[in-house]
Amino acid sequence: MSILKVARIGNPILRRRAGEVPRAAIGSPELERLIEDMTETMVEYDGVGLAAPQVHEPLRLAVLQVPADDEQEEIPLMVLINPVVTPLPSEKVSGWEGCLSVPDLRGMVTRPDRVRLQALDREGKPIELEASGFHARVIQHECDHLDGVIYIDRMDDLSTLSFLPEFERYVVTDGDVECV
Q: Are 106 and 166 in contact (CB under 8 A)?
A: no
Task: Give SS3 for 124.
Answer: coil
Q: Are 66 and 72 in contact (CB under 8 A)?
A: yes
Partners of residue 75 on adjacent β-strands: 66
Catalytic residue among 36, 142, 166, 178: 142
Partners of residue 115 on adjacent β-strands: 87, 131
32 is catalytic: no
- Rounded-to-integer distance, Cα 174 and Cα 95, Å: 16
- Positions annotated as catalytic residues are 142
